[in-house]
Amino acid sequence: MTTQTVVVVGHGMVGHRFVEALRSRDAENRWDVLVLCEEPVPAYDRVGLSSYVNSWDPAQLALSGNDYPGDDHVSVRLGTRAESVDRDAKTVTTSSGEVIGYDALVLATGSYPFVPPVPGSDEAGCFVYRTLDDLDRIRDAAEAAGTGAAAVVVGGGLLGLEAANALRMLGLTPHVVEYNSRLLPNQVDEGGGILLERLVTDLGLAVHTGVSTQSITQDAGGSLRVSLSDDSDISAAMLVFSAGVRPRDQIARDCGLQLGSRGGVLVDTACRTSDPDVYAIGECAAVEDRCYGLVGPGYATAEVVADRLLAGGAEFPGADLSTKLKLLGVDVASFGDALAESEGALEVVLNDAAKRTYAKLVLSDDAKTLLGGVLVGDASAYASLRPLVGRELPADAASLISPAGAQVGAGALPDDAEVCSCNAVTKGTICGAIADGACDIAAIKACTSAGTTCGGCVPMIKQILESSGVEMSKALCEHFEQSRAELFQIVQATGIRTFSGLIAKYGKGTGCDICKPTVASILASTSGDHILDGEQAALQDSNDHFLANIQKNGTYSVVPRMPGGECTPEQLIVIGEIARDFGLYTKITGGQRIDLFGARVEQLPLIWRRLVDAGMESGQAYGKSVRTVKSCVGSSWCRYGVQDSVGMAVALENRYRGLRSPHKLKMGVSGCARECAEARGKDVGVIATERGWNLYVAGNGGQSPKHAQLLAGDLDSETLVRYIDRYLMFYIRTADRLQRTAPWLEALDGGLDHLRAVVCDDSLGIADDLEAAMARHVDSYTDEWAGVLADPEKLARFVSFVNAPDELDPTVAFNQDAAYAEDGSRKVPVLIGMPAVRSPHDDFVTAD
């Protein structure tokens, strides 16, 4: 079979989805795919564009597999624009002058920001909000303007409020100007718009509705004067146009393809243009003369064309324009006929001014069928209500939006109900995946794509799992039927302080290597007792038992604690002397510490004594506990620093040292938005702002790296520490065994919103208890290594052979000479392409 070539013009989210869909189905490799990507980076999550402000790292927005690793049938040309199409010759000419032939052409050019014809719209200081480059330019202007400067966003729709949020995160004071009488005019009605305006105003936005921008002028100092139609003026440092988009159809216009009446490349339900060899997908496509600006319909067009190129008969199924989003921390959702435009439509409205929530359901004229709805302030019912659009209601409409009313369960949905609108996944598809063995959220995401785009359907997927009879065992192990969180509550409530007492009353058997260290961690988290006291010593795993990291050759590593990475010259000298005197291998770790490798078990107390005498601890590079708090130099030294990041890092590490938890915890403190401490890759990340600190939570490295998410912004130091106290103790109490903070947050019902409500708003009324628990830890902390040195019974554990304490284990050795020459230099350089050589690393596992 002859291989054909399909050229894809554009590599946004929809273009990427088309390539994935085609390659996943083209088992016979009938098509080679050539993608022309105008931007310098491959496909990224444009829906989450405002999150770029948190990291300024394009890789954080990159769509999975956007470089198609290992696929020889896909080629992506970055920074290459399609200039023209010759339909007769079936070629595309690129910005580099290359002429590329095609058998099929797919236009995925997307859209461009609409800039209203306002006098002065081309002034310096005016920007659009569409790409990563746009945000880079906005950032530079924001930094020049300074914290608190005013900025204007023209447009109060989805993109406008996203842009306003980005400006707020950059430290500016946004003004939103919307021509319509309310914000989000295409998603919410008048009642929802009133509440939304009140909520975002409370968050620091100035909202101007029912007015237009008349002119923009710039004064001698560079400030903009934005004149509005109500005769008011706004003085601003910058202006961002986010007043909607228009389909990018110029290349289609130039080559003579038929266009829609309001722009866009006109296509039929097969997404085929007036040329049968040319297709259009996404925002540039006018499907039967209508363009769609949401990712869900765009993905649907991509799937249709992939099917058609493989001789299928797919047609565009219509568009679900439902949206669920969080704008500036405010829940907003709309679905179906949200604005009650259907003939005879009835409305049921619940406007709770006290709770600041608004809910409206739109019903058919007989009040039996759900046509649509709007939710503002609380969108928790979205996942269960949206799949019911067009179907008979299972209960009285008012009860479905009342807090005390009926709940729509998964059982009320028929199999053909679309649960995931972004990826067109029905309940029946999910149930089929469960029947085939997908027994958790991650497995269902992997095999159906449900829940992988906006995530709004995840709560309903959980309900379907439960209603399908999938049993998720909460048992810690065969000896305890309770989960780790339940055992924590039992220990806290009963005061039981031994494993034997706990298993005798609440478990069975003698325990195992799962429950013993777990209970040991719980006991350590609920008291200041030394972990090697009495029965607890026997519960610990090897690292905790010897208060050091055991390595593959049987030796141990010691990592002196340096809070915040800070260390005096005298302490550095002591560390160097220890390494020299005991023949240890030294390495700077990723967490700003010095790792000393190669210590024998009987040498550990001798090393600790010298560290303690120098005013240092050994450090907890081995435990399921707080490891390190990494810092940049902050305002003490850096010309960009706006807060004392080192001082904050030292304070946090000293406060939380010794805190036992379900998994290891790492923290970082950066002194400015340049983020040199990489705080957003940590379980707790703190980034300085002009007005205080931004707190990020639940990030981690490891096999599945996760970016931390913003929990609260512009906090003073006292509030910052209070929130971290609550967050850490809530995690310690509720997480599963060996569950890091990122998967814990993903599994937490309500996710980040619920966590923010618990930590910042005290929604569960437990804030005082969480803070008191952390205060007890801080007050009871003692140096564990000094505790061993002061206790002959504990000290006696640190020998190779208990029955022959003076004997050394002949099987444990570390040959320092193998790595270094007499002058201290490395004997053998490690270079890419050289034959494999022995390295000191080969004997060790890093303690980071």
**What is the structure's pLDDT at 629?**
92
**pLDDT category of residue 831 using cuts at 50, 70 and 90:** very low
In 620-731 the beta strands, taken as DSSP E runs, fall at 626-631, 665-670, 684-689, 692-697, 709-715
- Is residue 826's pLDDT more than 60? no
pLDDT for 388-441, tens place per residue?
888 888 778 888 887 655 556 666 677 777 778 777 788 888 888 888 878 777
**What is the structure's pLDDT at 839?**
38
Rounded Cα–Cα distance for residues 225 and 212 (Å): 14
- Is residue 789's pLDDT more than 80? yes
**What is the structure's pLDDT at 474?**
73
DSSP structural state of residue 679? G
Paired tokens of 512: 């195992």
pLDDT for 184-224, tens place per residue?
998 888 998 899 999 888 888 899 999 999 999 998 888 99
CATH of domain 126-243: 3.50.50.60
The widest CA-to-CA distance across the chain, in whole angstroms, is: 93
Highest mean pLDDT, choosing among 242-246, 586-590, 722-726: 722-726
Instruction: Return the higher-pLDDT residue of 467 and 576.
Output: 576
Give the 3-state secondary structure of 758-788: HHHCCCCCCHHHHHHHHHHHHHHCCCHHHHH
The highest-level CATH class for domain 624-782 is alpha beta
Contact (CB, 8 A) for 584 and 668: no
- Is residue 633's pLDDT more than 90? no
Taking alpha carbons only, the member of 585, 656, 573 closest to residue 614 is 573
Q: What are the angstrom distances between the C-alpha of 141 and each of 169, 432, 588?
A: 14, 52, 38
159 CB-near residues (< 8 Å, 6+ apart): 129, 242, 244, 245
823 CB-near residues (< 8 Å, 6+ apart): none
**pLDDT category of residue 85 using cuts at 50, 70 and 90:** very high
Residue 291 marked as a ligand binder: no
Q: 790 by DSSP, 3-state: which? A: coil
**Which DSSP string do the residues of 274-309 spell out, in sequence order?**
SSTTEEE-GGGEEETTEE--SHHHHHHHHHHHHHHH
- Among 175-184, 479-488, 822-831, the range scoring the smallest mean pLDDT is 822-831
- Is residue 605's pLDDT more than 80? yes
CB crowding 499-521: b at 16 or more within 10 Å, else e: beebbeebbeeebeeebbbbbbb
Q: Where are the domains of the chain?
A: 4-112+247-309, 126-243, 322-408, 410-469, 484-540, 547-617+810-848, 624-782
**What is the structure's pLDDT at 843?**
41
Residue 638 marked as a ligand binder: yes
pTM across the whole model: 0.58
- Is residue 667's pLDDT more than 90? yes
**pLDDT category of residue 670 using cuts at 50, 70 and 90:** very high
**What is the structure's pLDDT at 394?**
78
Residue 515 marked as a ligand binder: no
**What is the structure's pLDDT at 828?**
42
**Beta-strand relationship, 556-558 and 82-86:** unpaired
How many CB atoms neighbour CB 244 within 10 A? 17
The arithmetic mean of pLDDT across residues 50-71, rounded, is 85
Please tell me if the domain spanning 322-408 has the same topology as the one spanning 410-469: no
The arithmetic mean of pLDDT across residues 637-648, rounded, is 88
CATH of domain 410-469: 1.10.10.1100
- Is residue 451's pLDDT more than 90? no
- Among 428-442, 602-616, 796-810, the range scoring the smallest mean pLDDT is 796-810
**Beta-strand relationship, 665-670 and 684-689:** parallel
3-state SS of the chain: helix, strand, coil percent to 5?
35, 20, 45
**What is the structure's pLDDT at 838?**
37
The fraction of the chain above a pLDDT of 90, given in percent, is 41
Rounded Cα–Cα distance for residues 846 and 587 (Å): 9
**What is the structure's pLDDT at 825?**
54
The arithmetic mean of pLDDT across residues 158-184, rounded, is 90
Rounded Cα–Cα distance for residues 225 and 217 (Å): 5
The highest-level CATH class for domain 322-408 is alpha beta
**pLDDT category of residue 586 using cuts at 50, 70 and 90:** confident
Amino acid sitting at position 285: A
Residue 676 marked as a ligand binder: yes
Rounded Cα–Cα distance for residues 543 and 161 (Å): 50
**What is the structure's pLDDT at 412?**
66
**pLDDT category of residue 812 using cuts at 50, 70 and 90:** low
**What is the structure's pLDDT at 692?**
92
- Is residue 833's pLDDT more than 50? no
Instruction: Return the higher-pLDDT residue of 1 and 463.
Output: 463
**pLDDT category of residue 844 using cuts at 50, 70 and 90:** very low
Q: What are the angstrom distances between the C-alpha of 619 and each of 429, 583, 593, 793?
A: 51, 20, 9, 22
Mean pLDDT of the chain: 85
**pLDDT category of residue 542 using cuts at 50, 70 and 90:** low
The fraction of the chain above a pLDDT of 70, given in percent, is 90
**What is the structure's pLDDT at 841?**
38
The arithmetic mean of pLDDT across residues 621-626, rounded, is 80
β-strand partners of 369: 392
**pLDDT category of residue 829 using cuts at 50, 70 and 90:** very low
- Among 38-42, 343-347, 513-517, 673-677, the range scoring the smallest mean pLDDT is 513-517
Which CATH number among 3.50.50.60, 3.90.580.10, 3.20.20.10, 2.60.120.620 corresponds to the domain 4-112+247-309?
Answer: 3.50.50.60
Q: Which helix (H) or strand (E) holds 465?
A: helix 458-467
- Is residue 803's pLDDT more than 60? no
- Is residue 750's pLDDT more than 50? yes
**What is the structure's pLDDT at 540?**
72
DSSP structural state of residue 835? P
In 328-456 the beta strands, taken as DSSP E runs, fall at 330-336, 346-352, 357-363, 370-376, 418-420, 425-426
Highest mean pLDDT, choosing among 476-485, 589-598, 659-668: 659-668
**Which DSSP string do the residues of 591-629 spell out, in sequence order?**
TS-EEEEEE-GGGHHHHHHHHHHTT-----SSSSBEEEE
- Is residue 604's pLDDT more than 60? yes
- Is residue 475's pLDDT more than 50? yes
